[in-house]
Structure 1
Amino acid sequence: MTQPASEAQQGGPAPAAKAPPAGGADAAGGPPGRGAGGRRPAGLRFDARNLSLLGVLAALVLVGGVTRPDEFLALSNLQLVLTQASVIGVVTVGATFVITSGGIDLSVGAIVALASVWATTLATQSYGFLGIAFTAVVVGLGCGLVNGVLIAYGRMVPFIATLAMLASARGLALQLTDGKTQVVSVSSVLRLGSRDSYILGVPPLVLVFAGVTVAGWLVLNRTTFGRRTVAVGGNPEAARLAGIDVRRQRLYLYLLSGLCCGIAAFLLVVLSGSGQNTNGNLYELDSIAAAIIGGTLLSGGRGTIVGSVLGVLVFTTITNIFALNNLQTDVQQIAKGVIIVAAVLVQRRSARPGEV
């Protein structure tokens, strides 16, 4: 049994029946059936993508420093950029798992809005800090559960199921608020968003974002759950034959996405001190775009948390630079669109046959 394994590692022929490994993915997080001969180039491509994103981020910092040196490089502005990136960043971590599995979630922005609204009703605020945090997370998990059941067991197309959730969650959020802003009166929540709560100059929201990022990276790259996620995205049928319960895995992934939306909703409540039915507007597009430019394959089978986080930072920095230079929002959207198209074209050029 050991000799055929060594031949596969050296790039030699191997029986087709042994193509899908038991774990459903190789050590590099690639789709099932990849030998060691494909692992090193994949790893090099991941590093190249991350380095290129770091280069883009450095160039943006240079542009901001040149155009608005006093404002952009101020510590308060850098803290603001990281804080704003924290909310959409947490959503993007969950979206990265879903996209890696070959799915899509168009409802993340609406779920954030619904969770933030439900968590800031007068009834919820009467339970204090824990009541608001608990409600936001539970609402996110509930929406994720509905998405997961419809997709995994109802056999609905993810695009349709999450589009229905988008419309329903937005409508329910509007109904709960009657179009009004719900102001938070819980002092402990408001205090968490003030500068007095910064730890060594780092906002608490950024620390939460960092914790979610580290946890997401560990789960995707160092656990069986992560390997199964990659396997399902790479080849669902091969994953099923390898013993993976594909439907249950997809249910868990949409639950994870809902959990991240609930956490993001709470962070948004802390940041804005209110709940609105317009919260999370276009988060679905921003999270998908950040994951794509970070190197996550839209068709599934490959995902990177580090790349997704760098993508979030790139978009947030662009928004900040445009705001400081009083440039129009439409120009900002055009710039984002160009970056997304460029990133997808780079993916197509660097992908192996059949990946894109």
Structure 2
Amino acid sequence: MTHPATPARPAEPKRATAPHKTPHRTLLRTDLRTLSLLGVLAVLVVIGGVTQPDSFLDTDNVQLILTQASVIGVVTVGMTFVIISGGIDLSVGAIVALASVWATTVATQEYGFAGILFTAIVVGVACGLVNGLLIAYGGMVPFIATLAMLASGRGLALQITDGKTQVVTVDGVLSLGERDSYILGIPPLVLVFAAVTVIGWLVLNRTTFGRRSVAVGGNAEAARLAGIDVRRQRLYLYLLSGLCCGIAAFLLIVLAGSGQNTNGNLYELDAIAAAIIGGTLLTGGRGTIVGSVLGVLIFTTITNIFALNNLQSDVQQIAKGAIIVAAVLVQRRDAHSTT
């Protein structure tokens, strides 16, 4: 007895799959963004050279731009890590102020160079620890936690100084700001900024810590399911931000030769703005150290050009605001093009 042949089942149509997003496309976008930032910086250099040919391109002025960029640049490196992870730190300016005044009290200066440096870093890390614990383990929203630290830090800095300027008398600290300490014509503060930038780039792009930071910012729940301790990672990131603030406070002490409760004013806005125009997404999951550093240099160069041309600061702020808006619009276009 023979069974009738079973009719062959028609082949199922192949499911349409979304095109695979290769890392090459992401790298290409990053390279284009970096080139565009370099282009903006080049245009600013041309404008400065044309409007003030004798002053802007002078070696002393270039050294001044790089030195002024160093302090906020170190803060921006830490801020970039925090924003990449999906967080925010509004307290960086207050932490810089608190660390600078605590490190320049009479009692601290009795311990010399090491005492000032150690105190500045410890205060910065301690503030970062408080922020990290409140956010990672206390469940507080980063905006609220760091806003509270901003208010507390400014208040404590004012209490320590009683509104007075604390002049530094330690020769080892003051000498770092003098021309005799320059190495091959490069100020020590710029070398510290360069070292922090290189270390930040290596940590973000070549370590597990960097990959985890990006993963937490991209999708915290997916990162948790992948085995990443999200809370601990966030704690480490705010510790890193506090460390950068402590280093920046020491650089500011060297630059100003004093500690004041007004130090670091609006640093949080400048650092966030520099990171944004550098390509770091406010929603987290993407960012570059190189882009953030270029953002710092662009803003510092704009400030220098306006100062040399005796232009009012309100126009400068408007120009910065326009650059920030343009950067955010470019980010939105990139985000839509990848969906």
TM bucket (normalised to shorter chain) is: over 0.9
- 1:106-125 → structure 2 map (5 Å cutoff): 106-125=90-109
Corresponding residue for residue 328 of structure 2: 344
Counterpart of 1:231 in structure 2 is 215
| Paired residue type of 1:170 | R
Relative to the length of structure 2, the TM-score reads 0.94
State which of 319, 330, 346 in structure 1 corresponds to 2:303: 319
Distance in 1 between residues matched to 2:166 and 2:124, nearest whole Å = 19
Q: What is the distance in 1 between the residues matched to 2:21 and 2:223? A: 21
Stretches of structure 1 lacking an aligned partner (at least 5 in a row): 1-11, 15-34
What SS does the corresponding residue of 1:332 show, helix, strand or coil? helix
User: Are residues 1:67 and 2:34 paired?
Assistant: no
Deviation at 1:340, TM superposition (A): 0.1
2:153 paired residue number: 169
Corresponding residue for 1:143?
A: 127
Tell me the distance in 2 between the aligned counterparts of 1:13 and 1:243.
28
Equivalent residue, structure 1, for 2:32: 48
Match of 1:94 in 2: 78
Which position in structure 1 is the counterpart of 2:248? Answer: 264
Q: Report the secondary structure of 1:159's partner residue.
A: helix
User: Do structure 1's residue 132 and structure 2's residue 104 form an aligned pair?
Assistant: no
CA-to-aligned-CA distance 1:110-146 (integer Å, 9 cap, x gap): 0000000000000000000000000000000000000
* 1:211 match: 195
Could you tell me how far apart the structure 2 residues matched to 1:305 and 1:53 are? 13
CA distance in 2, matches of 1:337, 1:38: 34
Name the counterpart of 1:19.
Answer: none
After superposition, the Cα gap between the structure-2 partners of 1:330 and 1:37, relative to the gap in structure 1 and judged at 3 Å, is: same
Question: Which consecutive unaligned segments of at least 5 residues does structure 2 have?
Answer: 1-15
Structure 2 residue 174 is matched with structure 1 residue 190: yes
Q: Secondary structure at the match of 1:211?
A: helix
* Aligned length, in residue pairs: 324
Label 1:231 to 1:84 Cα distance change in 2 as closer, same or farther (>3 A). same
Offset of residue 38 of structure 1: 3.1
Deviations 1:248-283 (A, max 9, x none): 000000000000000000000000000000000000
Amino acid at match of 2:288: T
CA distance in 1, matches of 2:213, 2:41: 29
Distance 1:164 1:354, change over 3 A: farther
Distance 2:299 2:239 in 1: 26
| Residues in 2 aligned to 1:317 and 1:142: alpha-carbon distance in whole angstroms | 32
Structure 1 residue 349 displacement after superposition: 0.7
Distance in 1, matches of 2:243 and 2:21, equals: 37
Aligned to 1:71, the other structure's residue is in SS state coil
**2:292 counterpart (308, 314, 338):** 308
Instruction: Report the AA paired with residue 338 of structure 1.
Output: A
CA RMSD for the aligned pairs?
1.3
Distance (Å, rounded) in 1 between the aligned partners of 2:338 and 2:144? 25
Please say which of residues 344-353 and 221-230 is displaced more in the overlay: 344-353
